[in-house]
Structure 1
Amino acid sequence: MRCSATGRRWGHAVCAAGVAAACLLAGHGFVPQWPGRVGSLVETFLPWVGVAVPLLVVGGLVVRSWGGLGAGLGAGVVWVVLFGSLVVPAGGGADGLVVVQHNVSDENPDPDGTARALRGAGADLVALEELTPAALPRYAAGLGGAYPHHATDGSVGLWSRYPLRDVRPVDLRPAGLDDPGWRRGLRATAATPYGDVAVYVVHLPSVRIGAGGFRSQWRDDSARRLGRVLAAEPLERVVLAGDLNGTVDDRALSPVTGRLAAPRSGLAFSWPASLPLARIDQVLARGGTLPAVRALPATGSDHLPVLATIVFGGRS
């Protein structure tokens, strides 16, 4: 490829951008948290770096730069290594425990319609967050026919086809938050065909993006508390469903994600519902595998529901 001096300058720019994208993808763990927890912010939206790849490849071709083209393709290879399995459809439907996770929003104008939609998903377990005292009876009525067993604590709830026992709250209050009414975690044992499963429904504190960066201190502290609870869980089979207000790539959630398996396939961006940019609603497991996760159609919430199947092996 021959090009003018201007073309060479553009070629150098495309090459530099490609190298930067590849380095960011491969080395995101080296991005420092301070100032403003920028590392977590980058990891929250890391898959979107892939949008730059076709632009870089086309740019390399337009300015006739082998270096720019190669750098763009190199960034694409790194993206495929990190996220390629998530966009490849999973194999045939696996037989396992089907879980739906949904932050239903405390401002949801249609709890009845949301309950109908979740019931229609055909899951074995339905985990909900941001339940309000006014809306809770409507969710209970809408789900109760299909899910005879349920437990709630504070603003979180679990509906199950299978009997529940050993139900107890999980205290996730971060340091400095002394409000006893802040109850966003519960744990129950579900007697499933695959054996007893410890089921956690959680809602970690929200994060904020502002002039000071990514404000996630409370969420990070709650994640550490939850990680200690999971480490002490005696049952082999564990399911965690909840709004973690972060993605599985966010290093600040490693106390949780480091102890549980994430879905092997499916991006399933769940927030915001109007233009999903990230999956912050998670279904994770221990003692089993998750072949895939997918987002369900929108409800009256600002989050999309997500559905995952957990394969625990043979039935008990």
Structure 2
Amino acid sequence: MIPGLAWAWLAFFLGVWGLGERLGERTVPTLLLAYAPPVLLLLPTLLILVLALWHARVSRRALLPALLTLALWPLYAGLVWNTPQANPTDAITLLTYNLAGATQGRPERLAAEIRAADADIVTLQETEGVDVDLTRELLALLPEYEHAQAAESRELLTLSRFPVVGTRAVTLPETTRIFLVTTLNTPQGKLTVINVHFSTVLVSRVLQGQVGPTQSRREAQLDILRRETAGLERVIVAGDFNTPPRGVMYRDLQRMFSGAWAEAGGGLGWTFPSASPALRIDHIFSRGLRPVRAEVLDAGGSDHRAVRAVLTWEG
């Protein structure tokens, strides 16, 4: 019985992984598979392994599929391992951080976290504030940064040690969210930074059959991002993508850009929820700049963890 269970679980595990990876957002079931926290598959895997070890005399054949499933799980969960490189002299450090509207941390705490990260560029999401004027207080607490924010929305804020030479909002269909496109004048030339906050995939709405509108909005947002970055040689796209490192949308992002975590991170890189992370949905992507280091910072005053990356210029 146990060997059959172990082999069946391995087949199920591979099926979940394959369908979530290849089909992802195209159907409701595979969307749920792609966006499910990887720990949901780890717990049954450990249970089957314990059963196989407990009954090793009669179930030794179960050890192979159980161990194989356990060995494959880190890859399914998004584990990467890159050797950290020394920071080049022309490196740019970028921090992306969803502040959750200062509902879990005061502006003073959030500003201290941002300053401690010592980033040249900071892309912030959910900066409209709930009980405080978060943008105003952050700018007062971080006078060393220039800033960019659109009149259309206070939900995104970009900070920069480099001069800001232009900024504009890109409106997104069927939502109040925007992309904030900022042009910076760096010592190496012009750099475009796009601060993003993609629409959220809410499992409750998916289960209620309301996946269509969210799916179409996210596809439209990706198409707009593709259009906005077409022809740009040097661009950084960073923010809360609400997208784990699986599925069709993430593959499209990988084709368009270099992923900081995939190329320079170490570990699982989970960012949400901050207290007990189970998903990596905050990302830093680039074109024309090569990631040399990436890290997820410790839990702070938000429900997300911040991601920090060091990038160097290509060409």
Same fold, TM-score > 0.5, yes or no: yes
* Selected match of 2:54 from 53, 62, 68: 62
Instruction: Output the CA distance in 2 between the equivalents of 1:305 and 1:10.
Output: 43
**Which shows bigger deviation, 96-105 or 264-273?**
264-273
- 135-144 or 62-71, which deviates more: 62-71
Deviates more, 1:117-126 or 1:206-215: 206-215
Secondary structure class of the residue paired with 1:117 = helix
The residue number in structure 2 matching 1:286 is: 287
Task: Tell me by how many angstroms 1:14 deviates.
Answer: 2.0
Quick one: which amino acid aligns to residue 119 of structure 2? A
Check the 8 A contact 1:97/1:309 in 2, yes or no. yes
1:89 to partner: Cα distance: 5.4
Q: Partner residue of 1:28?
A: 20
| Residue 94, structure 1, aligned to residue 87, structure 2 | yes
Residues 125-274 of structure 1 correspond to what in structure 2 (within 5 A)? 125-132=121-128, 134-145=133-144, 147=145, 149-153=146-150, 154=153, 155-174=155-174, 177=175, 182-210=176-204, 211-212=207-208, 215=211, 217-218=213-214, 220-233=216-229, 234-262=231-259, 263-264=261-262, 265-266=265-266, 267-274=268-275
List gaps (5 residues or longer) in structure 2: none
What's 1:72 paired with? 66
User: 2:42 matched to 1:42?
Assistant: no
Instruction: Name the amino acid aligned to 2:135.
Output: L
- Rate the CA distance shift 1:255–1:84 in 2: closer, same or farther, 3 A: closer
Q: Which amino acid aligns with 1:43?
A: A
1:295 Cα offset (Å): 1.8
C-alpha distance in 1, partners of 2:215/2:270?
A: 20
3-state secondary structure, aligned to 2:223: helix
Retained in 2: the 8 A contact 1:125–1:160? Answer: yes
Paired AA for residue 168 in structure 2: R
Residue 236 of structure 1 deviates from its aligned partner by 0.7
**Inter-partner Cα distance in structure 2 for 1:94 and 1:216:** 44
- The aligned counterpart of 1:10 is 2
Give 1:108 deviation, angstroms.
4.3
> Number of aligned pairs?
296
Deviation of 1:269 (Å)? 1.4
**Structure holding more helix per residue:** 2
Higher strand share: 2
How many Å separate the matches in 1 of 2:186 and 2:251?
A: 28
Instruction: Name the SS for the 2:286 alignment partner.
Output: strand
Gaps of 5+ in 1: 1-8
Structure-2-length-normalised TM-score? 0.82
SS at match of 1:290: strand
Distance 1:31 1:187, change over 3 A: closer
TM-score, scaled relative to structure 1:
0.81
SS in 2 for 1:258: helix
Q: Which digits, 9 at most, give the CA deviation of each residue in 1:16-44, with x for residues without a partner?
A: 11232233334533567576x23222222
SS in 1 for 2:185: strand
Q: Is the 8 A contact 2:288 2:314 kept in 1?
A: no
Q: How many angstroms apart in 2 are the aligned matches of 1:232 and 1:33?
A: 22
Greater shift, 286-295 or 10-19, is seen at: 286-295
1:167 aligned counterpart, secondary structure: strand
Q: Does the CA-based 8 Å contact 1:150-1:157 persist in structure 2?
A: yes
What whole-Å deviation, never above 9, does each CA across 1:208-230 have from its counterpart, x for those lacking one?
11242684743652443343343
Work out the CA distance in 1 between the residues paired with 2:77 and 2:35: 13
